[in-house]
Amino acid sequence: EIHPSAKEGSKAVAQEIAALIREKAAANQKCVLGMATGSTPKYLYAELVRLHKEEGLSFKNVITFNLDEYYPIEPDALQSYNRFMKEHLFNHIDIPEGQYHIPDGTIPKDQIKQYCADYDKRIEAVGGMDLQILGIGNNGHIGFNEPGSNINSHTRLVTLDNSTRLANAYEFPNMSQVPRLAITMGLSTIFKAQRVILMAWGSHKAKIVCRSVEGHSTDQVPASLLQQHSNCKFVIDEQASAEL
């Protein structure tokens, strides 16, 4: 789905999310959403906040699970995805505390395996995700599933690619402070979502969008594996569509 701009694309995705939340609320059901961070979903979250404040969209029946978090990192660090989600969304809507989940970057290393297994179990316990929102890294990563990630992978501790650390270095005082590790939902965790929407904006995403949509489905471009998902769409702006 190609929109003239990131703002218009984000508004369209926000409308889809609002419709899903309302449909579930009308049926007295929870709506389980997978959330992403990075610069890509900023307009989407701003629009969801606007829908809450101006159009009465309630998030009381919403449960969310975030894709990833740096490791190690304190939740109030400037670059933490915990902080990002609170600043951009959770502090401004009526989602009850305890209904949003973001991987914890402070878990002691010897407990991470169990913590990650429990994260997947918590998603399963609420019936799986109705909709997963994704961005895309320049190397095709989704969440922090870097090239080579197994399609059957679960939530786990991963080593970040150097290219990812470089791409995200702008968030940190210098490159040496970019964490080398992260906790990410696995590809199988993401694939279990009923629907997936990947968003990409800007000319710097044009090449990887093209490889993901028109190239072979390969673990060397994790987003291209989404070709195998039964209900996935890419919502992009004109600039990101330039190579299609």
Contacts 24+ apart (CB under 8 A), 120-125: 120/154, 120/155, 120/185, 120/186, 120/189, 122/65, 123/32, 123/65, 123/189, 123/192
Q: Whose Cβ is closer to ligand GLP: residue 84's or residue 90's?
A: 84
Could you tell me if 136 and 198 are in contact, meaning their C-beta atoms sit under 8 angstroms apart?
yes
Q: Whose Cβ is closer to ligand GLP: residue 52's or residue 141's?
A: 141
Least separation in angstroms between residue 32's CB and ligand GLP is 18
Residue nearest to ligand GLP (CB): 135
Q: Considering 54, 146, 171, 243, which one is annotated as catalytic?
A: 146
Q: Whose Cβ is closer to ligand GLP: residue 25's or residue 181's?
A: 181
Q: Whose Cβ is closer to ligand GLP: residue 61's or residue 137's?
A: 137
- Phi and psi angles of residue 118, each rounded to the nearest 5 degrees, phi first: -65, -35
Least separation in angstroms between residue 61's CB and ligand GLP is 25
> What percent helix, strand, coil does the chain show, rounded to 5?
40, 20, 40
* Separation between Cα atoms, residue 3 and residue 195, nearest integer Å: 20
Q: Whose Cβ is closer to ligand GLP: residue 61's or residue 79's?
A: 79
Least separation in angstroms between residue 115's CB and ligand GLP is 18
Chain residues binding ligand GLP by CB under 6 A are 36-40, 67-68, 135-137, 143-144, 164, 168
Element (H, E) at 24: helix 6-26
Least separation in angstroms between residue 54's CB and ligand GLP is 26
Least separation in angstroms between residue 39's CB and ligand GLP is 4
Tell me, yes or no, if 243 is annotated catalytic.
Answer: no
User: Is the Cα torsion angle 7, 130, 234, 87 positive or negative in sign?
Assistant: positive
Could you tell me if 196 and 134 are in contact, meaning their C-beta atoms sit under 8 angstroms apart?
yes
Catalytic residue numbers read: 146
